[in-house]
Amino acid sequence: MKFTLGWLKEHLETEASLETILAALNDIGLEVEGVENPAEKLEGFFVAKVLTADPHPQADKLQVLTVDAGNGALQVVCGAPNARAGLIGVFGVEGATVPANGMVLRKAAIRGVESNGMMCSTRELELGEDHDGIIELPADAPVGTKFADYARLDDPVIDLSITPNRQDCMGVRGIARDLAAKGLGRLRPLDEVVAHLPALAPQGAGPDVRVEDEEGCPAFYARAVRGVKNGPSPEWLQQRLQAVGQKPISALVDITNFVMLGLGRPLHVYDMASLRGALVARKARAGEEVLALNGKSYTLDPTMTVIADEVGAHDIGGIMGGEHSGAQDGTTDVLIECAWFTPESIARTGQKLNLTSDARARFERGVDPAFLDEGLDIATRLVVALCGGSPSEATRAGRPPVERKIVAYDPARCLSLAGVDVSADAQKAILEKLGFAVAADWSVTVPSWRRDIDGPADLVEEVVRIHGLANVPSTPLPRAPGVAKPIATPEQLMERRVRRMAASRGLNEAINWSFISEKEAETVGGGDWTLANPISEDLKVMRPSLLPGLLSAARRNADRGAPSIRLFEVGRRYFRRADGSSDERLTVGIVLAGDRTPRGWATGKAQPFTAYDAKAEALALLAAAGAPVANLQMMGEAGASFHPGQSGTLRLGPKAVLAEYGVLHPALAKRFDLSGTVVAVQIFLDAIPQKRRSGFMRAPYAPPALQSVTRDFAFLVPEGVEGDALVRAVRGADKKAIVDARLFDVFTGAGVEPGMKSLAVEVTLQPGEKSFTEEELSAISAAVVKAAGKLGGTLRG
């Protein structure tokens, strides 16, 4: 929500400084996102008079001007066709920065002629789109005056972040009311604010408007104004709208935007010449289309509310008007619509159509239902003041929900709920300044513009924020004496270990949304849960896999030139159980892309990541998580997301899959615009068996007294035997003596018969109280060879 300081002071009589106002806004919960003063970027631009204008000796389209900006005549080269002697315009002196392009004005020679500064157009000063010539000011404009002061542009623009529950602050007047309650001044009565407008003198019956959709549009008020003259709105109104980012269109349209931003009351103006018969608020017909003011056509369904005449729909009710029935330059008779739309209906329609507007932002929060008559009257008075014409009586179709809510309140709740001791009298004064009516028995009547107030806790919040959030004391919670007991769950401890291990291995943590787009979900087989009210169409599906989010992050890093991408994420995946309930599974995702090692004189070309890198990361993180890594089995391929033949799974038995890893399927990598080899891992932490708890004490570490012994074995095994299977068989040959076994060589070729391969295993033996004898070593070796023989392996000679 943007507004100017001057606009605020039309509603708030105050002597407070800008800094005081900004501090108060933050203190009452209206977060200030930014402040910008248009006058600051116009520093160095002055009202100036062109004294002479002569042709440039070296260029037909340029002129050499002498300009007086209050400090004597300066020579300026100008290419504007309207530059002439006697013209009063805007001159940028040497050292000024042109707002449109950031150019700093310097003394320079243009085609051999010295130029000092610049005569400016509206586009160059970001005050409009006109670039055909320089600005022309009235003849009585004071030469030498700062242009920002002359044009009354020294008016700071304040940008607030309005939370969804504060519908009353979607207009300048609601913000002024809060500041007045804070004690920064007096809220001017609305009659005083609009006292300069002509009084209404209605003539004749009002327009024919009706309500057929009481659910979507309970109330539809309207008034006709005949004989208006549309055209550009006055300069003050254009400046007010431009300051807050609105583009001036015409007087009639600008009036509706002015009332919406100032009073929080959206309106719409129809050209009566385009209407046929009565104007009706009704449900849309299936397949009915509306060409909206944004130039796009929308297909509607019967759940949506439209404003229509006998011919068809003109307006997507409460969201956006139609293009062909809006006010035009030649409009002479208008119908002003002031309706109240059900917030829930507006929200659903906007979501279905993916259509946003300033009107929707206000109606779906909840516009004041008791402000229809006043809003319509003020808009009519503005139309008459700026466009002329004769207003009719108002037509009131339907009835807005104006029943007031009454909340039973106890002032003691402020201390018990918020921990702030505010006297009863002070609480009563705060609530009354905010528009609440407080009875003697503390029955509080909620104002019509505060549909967010439901109970006593909401009233406590109002008191506390106006009292000042900075005044809420920081009181520590009571704590039992002694050392605090650990509160982290085993799952939380496991997450911490995994994160630390991943970071120690050079991986960078990514934190992605738990939602992905439908297109991304399709790449991993689709999701089970689709949100009905997503924050974006690209964040609609609860992720069934961590890979899409990580791959998107990898692509963003690659697009920005990252040579080596090493990302991990710890998060949850979401599924639907057979009974229809939701299921969340804690998972670690890893994506490695780009160069594993950069090119160099010793390594040659850059080396990509391989499936073995993915497996190494999976094993390291599983070990950190407490998984029995020594018992893991490598089985099969990882699934459709991975490259066939270059992927695998780590399991505890056939069904308990703890991790899947490998090279990403080329088709999936292409979907995310990733080139080269991409490897990925998913570790399913919830599948790791929980250790039995045996107390907080762990057994003391007792290192072996004797040095371990290593023995190497090379076996010829069939090509189909996996190295993992051989290593596990060797390790199980003598579980007491053999403490480790690892594969260190794979060989095929000369000396190895076809269909076979050579696998070399290093076996680590740990003696106990005494060293191994030759007989014991021979027995262990025989057991190793026998275990390998069960897989078809023979000791290689």
Give the pLDDT confidence score for residue 702 in this predicted structure.
Answer: 82
Between 172-182 and 251-263, two packed helices, what is the crossing angle to 10 degrees? Answer: 30
Give the pLDDT confidence score for residue 341 in this predicted structure.
Answer: 96
pTM score over 0.75: no
Does residue 596 contact residue 539 with C-beta atoms inside 8 Å?
no
H-run or E-run covering 620:
helix 611-625
- 458 is annotated as contributing to ligand binding: yes
Structure tokens, 668: 């999936």
Mean pLDDT by 10 residues, the chain (797 residues): 94 94 94 90 92 91 92 91 93 91 90 92 84 89 91 90 92 96 95 94 93 95 95 91 90 95 95 93 93 91 94 92 87 95 94 92 94 96 95 95 94 92 94 95 95 94 92 84 85 94 96 93 91 85 95 95 96 91 93 93 90 95 92 86 92 91 94 94 92 68 88 93 90 91 92 91 92 93 94 88
Give the pLDDT confidence score for residue 696 in this predicted structure.
Answer: 59
- 522 is annotated as contributing to ligand binding: no
| CA nearest neighbour of 520 among 533, 536, 494, 538 | 538
SS3 state at 34: strand
Give the pLDDT confidence score for residue 694 in this predicted structure.
Answer: 60
SS3 state at 793: coil
Between 235-243 and 251-263, two packed helices, what is the crossing angle to 10 degrees? Answer: 50
Q: Report the C-alpha gap between 460 and 442 in whole angstroms.
A: 13
Does residue 569 contact residue 586 with C-beta atoms inside 8 Å?
no
Q: Report the C-alpha gap between 81 and 200 in whole angstroms.
A: 46
Dihedral sign of CA atoms 735, 738, 744, 750 in order: negative
Q: Report the C-alpha gap between 340 and 401 in whole angstroms.
A: 9
Give the pLDDT confidence score for residue 697 in this predicted structure.
Answer: 65
- 537 is annotated as contributing to ligand binding: no
Give the pLDDT confidence score for residue 750 in this predicted structure.
Answer: 87
| CA nearest neighbour of 647 among 688, 686, 609 | 609
Domains assigned to the chain:
2-37+155-193 (3.30.56.10), 40-150 (2.40.50.140), 209-398 (3.50.40.10), 406-471 (3.30.56.10), 490-687 (3.30.930.10), 709-795 (3.30.70.380)
- 734 is annotated as contributing to ligand binding: no
Does residue 634 contact residue 722 with C-beta atoms inside 8 Å?
yes
